[in-house]
Amino acid sequence: MKKDKNTNFFHFKGLTLEIHPEVYNPAEDTFLLIEALDVVKGKSVLEIGTGCGIISLDCARIGANVVCTDINPFAVDLTKRNYSRNKHLVKGDFDVRKGDLFKPIKNKEVFDIIIFNPPYLPTEKKDIVGGSGWFDVATNGGATGIKITTRFIDELTDYLKQNGKSYFIFSSLSDSDKLESLIKKKKFQFNVVSCRSFDFETISVYCLTKK
Ligand SMILES: C[S@@+](CC[C@H](N)C(=O)[O-])C[C@H]1O[C@@H](n2cnc3c(N)ncnc32)[C@H](O)[C@@H]1O
């Protein structure tokens, strides 16, 4: 990732992306997820929680047909601007929608690949940053760290095609037993496709397959 002289922009694999103070800045988790994805031309992709749109734009650049969503209106507007800015590089369809998890997805709309870099940090009341609240929305995974991930996995199967895959980030600070028992309850096959360790935390990319 190369930063522009104008610090509101950066470059990633030929894409020029604007960032915004109310929207999550791409970080190690974003790049770990991008590197782990197996997306090819023509596949249908849904990204929940797109932030500045970097993951979705990278998929559409490859030729996937992308729907992306975010609950944060600043993220939705920013992703629309980033799409306009990079339209000439995008080969697939690109549709940005605002809303909570799968709410913006139409009845019977199903995807080959569903991606989510969720808010995954275990967060107690004392950890809440406050302000406009959008930073907390991007990072706060509730006391267990998997509050939003649990809601995501609960609904996932309705939006995935048979043999479809879902990729999401998980932190070692959260409860992996709880996560994996939910995955098994929902009858997904799963494996951890990549991970990266820091001083106090390892972040992993889980890949779930609908069989
Ligand atoms: C960790 S950030 C990831 C942003 C971007 N995908 C990336 O990897 O750089 C999490 C994103 O999920 C969004 N988000 C949080 N809860 C959500 C929900 N219930 N429905 C949709 N989006 C949500 C946040 O607004 C934020 O943009």
Structure tokens at 136: 């907390």
Q: Which residues touch 134 (CB under 8 Å, ≥6 apart)?
A: 22, 23, 72, 74, 75
Q: State the Cα angle at 205 between 41 and 23, rounded to 5°.
A: 80
Predicted local distance difference test score (pLDDT) of residue 7 = 65
Ligand 1, atom 9, residue with closest C-alpha: 26
Domain limits at 114? 2-210
Report the pLDDT value the prediction gives residue 107, as an integer from 0 to 100. 81
pLDDT score of 130:
85
Q: Which atom of ligand 1 is nearest to the CA of 50?
A: 6
Number of domains in the chain: 1
Residue 124: per-residue pLDDT: 83
Residues of the chain scoring pLDDT < 50? none
Closest CA to 47 of 93, 136, 111: 111
Quote the pLDDT of residue 15. 96
Question: Which residue is listed with tokens 């990729």?
Answer: 167
What residues line ligand 1, using a CB cutoff of 6 Å?
24, 26, 30, 48-51, 54-55, 69-72, 75, 100-101, 117, 119, 137-138, 148
The pLDDT tens digits of the residues spanning 102-134 come to 999 988 899 999 999 999 999 888 888 888 899
| CATH of residue 56 | 3.40.50.150
Say which residues have a Cβ less than 8 Å from residue 40's Cβ, sequence separation at least 6.
62, 63, 64
User: Residue 2: what pLDDT?
Assistant: 64
